[in-house]
Amino acid sequence: MSADLFNSTTGSIPPVRRDLQIIPVEEDGRELLLFYDSMKLTPPGFALHRTVEPLLSLIDGRKTLHELMSYMGGNVKEEDILSFIRLLDEQLILNSSYFRLKSEQIEQSFESDNIRPPALVNSSYPADPAELSGFVDNLFEKASHSVKGVAAKNPEPAKALYAPHIDLRVGARQYAEAFSTLKSLKPGRVVILATSHYSGYYPSVYDGLPYIGSSKSFKIPGRTFKPHIESIEMLAGRGDELGFTIQDRAHRIEHSIETHLLFAGQIWSHDFEIVPVLVGGIDELFYKEDGSLGKKVAAFTSKLRSMDTDDTFYLISGDLSHIGKKFGDSLPAASMREKVESFDQKFMKAATENNSSLMMSHMSADYDPFRVCGFPPLYTFMQSFPDLKGHPINYHWWDEKERESAVSFGSIAY
């Protein structure tokens, strides 16, 4: 399979990718347009001078190079516009055949590797191992007072922890409170059930497969977590029945497992192996619990339960509600707070009681109105281990006032 950069004067110019965010920024007195790619395919930091904005708006997938020139009033040479289009194509800005080839090569290269490199290093936390250790220790230190209170309320050894994956700068105290309850434990195997934020970008890959495992070793600075291959192979051996796959491109830039490993790696210095599983959307259950997806969830959770051992610990990674204009609501988050917090408390109550029927009833009543990203992994865990008792640890509301949006999150020890 091969594809070249766009090079036609008569063919329609491929459109700018709709999934890119084009953000006006200022740098050294220059007004720029920064291209942010949540899929991390476009090179990071790629920006153009803001004067190209009118030209970008014309690149809609319908116009040829000659038509584009007519809109520009004949003031720009054909070869200059073509050169600009080819630059965009080369940087994977356009939804072109070249982009589709290169993006698939990136995904396949990741899938064929046996290492999952850190995705958040140098953006959310330091790349130097010593600095990272100090960074996480500092998060624990800042929360030391509240950590003692949490530990006093939860004296029993935990078997599982539901905790956030929110930005570390936002949820530092809540992370520290949650993970501090695990310091006395020494598991040999850690199963991680985590929100999948990106599997929906690959509908042809993950259709009917809500559970996405990986047989890679996961790296963070100074630490590598090896996979528990026997567990992964047991799940993969019944993949279609369980809705499970190890085609793991959804793990490439996912942060929901990585953030938990930062804290697990800090509190547990001993060697342990991981079973990393991303959980995609299970909204179909709101409409028909015993349909095709429901049968896969039942089979997966039954299998997970049968694989349990005394030295296995479960991390469930998920946040709560996502509301406000950033997430598509017409109202600002602040005006919705009372209603959403009431919804969250009912969610946390069902989760703490480990009542999966109550949880499903609550979430399906209005079809997940506030986008609770932690629902799929948490519901999966609750179905797997219905006899475990939950103890609430914390709840927090982060109000991103400048964007009129908010995210809530909390933690529960089981």
In 91-197, alpha helices (H)? 97-112, 129-142, 144-153, 168-180
Residue 384's nearest CA partner among 286, 268, 275, 265 is 275
DSSP-derived pairing of the beta strands 160-163 and 312-317 = parallel
Q: Show the domains of the chain with their CATH numbers.
A: 20-105 (3.90.930), 113-413 (3.40.830.10)
Token pair listed for 315: 């991390």
d(CA 290, CA 73) in angstroms, rounded, equals 61
**Token pair belonging to 204:** 């042809």
Let me know: does 165 contact 259? Beta carbons within 8 Å: yes
| Nearest partner of 216 among 192, 258, 251, 243, judged by Cα | 251
Separation of alpha carbons 389 and 385, rounded Å: 9
For helices 258-267 and 129-142, angle between their N-to-C axes, nearest 10 degrees:
80
| Residue 160: closest CA among 190, 139, 124, 130 | 190
Among 389, 345, 411, 414, smallest CA distance to 146 is for 411
Q: What is the pLDDT of residue 146?
A: 67
Question: Could you tell me how many residues make up the chain?
Answer: 414
The bridge status of strand 189-195 relative to strand 312-317 is parallel
pLDDT by residue, tens only, the chain of 414 residues: 567 999 998 999 999 999 999 999 998 899 999 999 999 999 999 999 999 999 999 999 999 998 888 887 767 788 999 999 999 999 999 999 999 999 999 999 999 999 999 999 998 999 999 999 999 998 888 777 666 666 556 667 899 999 999 999 899 899 999 999 999 999 999 999 999 999 999 999 999 999 999 999 999 999 999 999 999 999 999 999 999 999 999 999 999 999 999 999 999 999 999 999 999 999 999 999 999 999 999 999 999 999 999 999 999 999 999 999 999 999 999 999 999 999 999 999 999 999 999 999 999 999 999 999 999 999 999 999 999 999 999 999 999 999 999 999 999 999
Q: What DSSP string describes 338-380?
A: HHHHHHHHHHHHHHHTT-HHHHHHHHHTTTSTT--TTHHHHHH
**Cα(349)–Cα(363) distance, integer angstroms:** 12
Distances (CA, A) of 296 to 137, 191, 363, 410: 40, 19, 19, 28
Cβ neighbour number for residue 226 with a 10 Å cutoff: 13
Please count the other Cβ atoms lying within 10 Å of the Cβ belonging to residue 406: 25
Q: Contact 355/275 with Cβ under 8 angstroms?
A: no
- Residues pairing with 115 in the sheet: 217
Cα-Cα-Cα-Cα dihedral sign, residues 164, 170, 176, 177: negative
pLDDT of residue 141: 83
Residue 33, SS3 per DSSP = strand
Cα–Cα distance measured from residue 102 to residue 318, given in angstroms and rounded to the nearest whole number: 31
Q: Where are the alpha helices (DSSP H) in 237-332?
A: 239-242, 258-267, 284-287, 292-306
Q: Report which residue type is found at 262.
A: L
* Cα distances (Å, whole numbers) of residue 112 to 105, 107, 194, 280: 10, 9, 22, 22
pTM of the model: 0.93
**Residue whose C-alpha is closest to residue 250's, from 296, 204, 291, 287:** 204
How is residue 350 written in tokens?
């069902």
CB 309 within 8 A of CB 243: no
- The pLDDT assigned to 255 comes to 97
pLDDT the model gives residue 152: 57
Q: What DSSP element (H or E) covers 314?
A: strand 312-317
Measured CA to CA, the distance from residue 228 to residue 238 in angstroms comes to 17
Residues 324, 312: Cα–Cα separation, whole Å:
38
What is residue 76's predicted lDDT score, i.e. its pLDDT? 79
Phi, then psi, of 388 in degrees rounded to 5: -75, 140
pLDDT at 200: 94
